[in-house]
Amino acid sequence: MLFHEGTEKYRVDSLKFCITGGAAMPPEFIPVFEQRFGTKIMEGYGLTEASPVSSFSRLDMPQKPGSIGIPIPGVAAKIVDEAGRELPRETVGELILRGENVMKGYYKDEKATAQVIRNGWLHTSDLGRMDGDGYIFLTGRKKRMIITSGFNVYPREIEIVLGLHPAVQEARIIGKEDLLRGEIVKAVVVKKPGMEIEERELLKHCRTYLSSYKVPREVEFVEKIGE
């Protein structure tokens, strides 16, 4: 909306507030958006395992750009270390949740359920911190997962597809920061000796097997992929 040409032609004065979610909104955009459109923009947080939302900003509370707000009624949140011990405020750790919105478990997968639900708490694999007022700020991910335009992308799936191409010796999928999408999918590829392949051909191969949002938007060919 910020980059859309001719926004001044549209009437938005009926808006009481706007909501953003799916991926983190760059904090520096929030005051610019509010000034441009004359309305508050509220940020929230949820995940499939604790749907549809677990924390949210409040109109009647101070706004802190970059925060996903505080837990909604009926939901408790903590920031913990690797052993599950609660960390002091402003310390980065894993965000865990407990509440009526948390799933009972993964369908017919007790092992996967036990990995994420421990002692009644859902371990989100999102890293973050909580300030002195209880506002939560996300800082990253524990798992190798990319969130692009609100879609979850698991790198291993794309790496397997790339490995099916006869010219690919090794591939690594990474997330690259992007202003509009949060992250984009980037492929780092090692070609087999004596084989040649162009980015366009490799992306066409990916489109055959993958949904469009999983297809890499950028390919970098390298001699070796580091650990």
DSSP 144-183: S-EEETTEEE-HHHHHHHHHTSTTEEEEEEEEEEETTTEE
Sorted by sequence, the CB contacts under 8 Å of residue 215 that are 6+ apart come out as 185, 203, 206, 207
- Contact assessment for residue 12 and residue 35, using Cβ atoms and an 8 Å cutoff: no
Other beta carbons less than 10 A from residue 144's beta carbon: 14
186, amino acid identity: K
> How much is the average pLDDT of 105-122?
95
DSSP state, residue 23: S
* Domain residue limits, the chain: 7-141, 146-221
pLDDT tens figures, 39-95: 999 999 999 999 899 999 998 999 898 899 999 999 999 999 999 999 999 999 999
pLDDT value, residue 223: 94
> How much is the average pLDDT of 14-18?
92
- pLDDT confidence tier of residue 199, bands split at 50, 70 and 90: very high
The Cα–Cα gap between 19 and 21 comes to 7
Alpha helix segments (H runs only) across the chain: 29-37, 110-116, 155-163, 199-209
pTM of the model: 0.71
> What are the φ/ψ torsions at residue 135 (nearest 5 degrees)?
-75, 140
The Cα–Cα gap between 195 and 35 comes to 53
Sorted by sequence, the CB contacts under 8 Å of residue 30 that are 6+ apart come out as 41, 43, 63, 65, 66
Report the length, in residues, of the chain: 227
Q: Which CATH architecture has domain 146-221?
A: 2-Layer Sandwich (3.30)
CATH no. for 7-141: 2.30.38.10
pLDDT value, residue 195: 93
Grouping H, G, I as helix, E, B as strand and the rest as coil, residue 36 is helix
Alpha helix segments (H runs only) across 39-154: 110-116
Comparing 7-141 with 146-221, is the CATH topology the same?
no
